[in-house]
């Protein structure tokens, strides 16, 4: 097997401060370097949601150093999967990409108790995504 990633995934939400950061953290943690991970926001916030950071640290995933980033056309073009989480039409569409929209509650302004169920739902979706990426790679072998 080559050392290049099996796929590249971009997570997009409006502020790139909660859902997309948790998703990127889980994918990096669970898939390692098998998958290239990016996250961005259409209107990035100033910092990652502290409740999201705390909720992720509870399950052994450190996103405390993550910083919200602006969504760029280049990031979308460089990704195989583009997963939106409430950014609507702000995400540019390119042929040949797999677009998924994950309807997840926005953790903005919520305490860690309210963020935990969102975190847990993201983990379930990330595990399914990894299985899909692995299956697609195996099909290409």
Interval 99-135: pLDDT, tens: 999 999 999 999 999 999 999 999 999 999 999 999 9
- What CATH number is given for 7-140 in this structure? 3.40.50.2300
**Mean pLDDT computed over 8-33:** 95
pTM of the model: 0.93
Q: Where are the domains of the chain?
A: 7-140
CB atoms within 10 A of CB 134: 15
Task: Give residue-wise pLDDT tens across range 29-52.
Answer: 999 999 999 999 989 999 999 999
CA distance 137 to 6: 6
Residue 138 has a pLDDT of 86
Instruction: Inform me whether the pLDDT recorded for 1 exceeds 50.
Output: no
Dump pLDDT digits (tens) for 77-97: 999 999 999 766 566 677 888
Q: Across residues 3-12, what is the average pLDDT?
A: 90
Q: Which residue has the tokens 């939106």?
A: 84
Supply the pLDDT for residue 140: 81
CA geometry: angle at 2 spanning 29 and 141, to 5°? Answer: 100
Q: Which residues are catalytic?
A: 13, 87, 91
- Is the distance from CB of 17 to CB of 68 less than 8 angstroms? yes
pLDDT value for 87: 62
Q: Looking up tokens 């509870």, which residue turns up?
A: 58
């Amino acid at each position: 097997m080559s050392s290049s990633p099996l796929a590249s995934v971009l997570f997009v939400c409006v502020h790139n401060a909660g859902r997309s950061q948790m998703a990127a953290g889980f994918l990096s943690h669970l898939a390692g370097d098998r998958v290239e991970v990016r996250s961005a926001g259409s209107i990035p916030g100033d910092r990652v949601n502290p409740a999201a950071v705390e909720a992720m640290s509870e399950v052994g995933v450190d996103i405390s150093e993550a910083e919200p980033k602006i969504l760029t056309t280049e990031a979308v073009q460089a990704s195989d999967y583009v997963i939106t989480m409430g950014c609507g039409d702000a995400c540019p569409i390119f042929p040949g990409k797999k677009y998924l929209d994950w309807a997840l509650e926005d953790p903005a302004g919520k305490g860690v108790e309210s963020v935990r169920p969102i975190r847990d739902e993201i983990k379930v979706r990330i595990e399914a995504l990894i299985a899909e990426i692995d299956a697609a790679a195996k099909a290409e072998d």
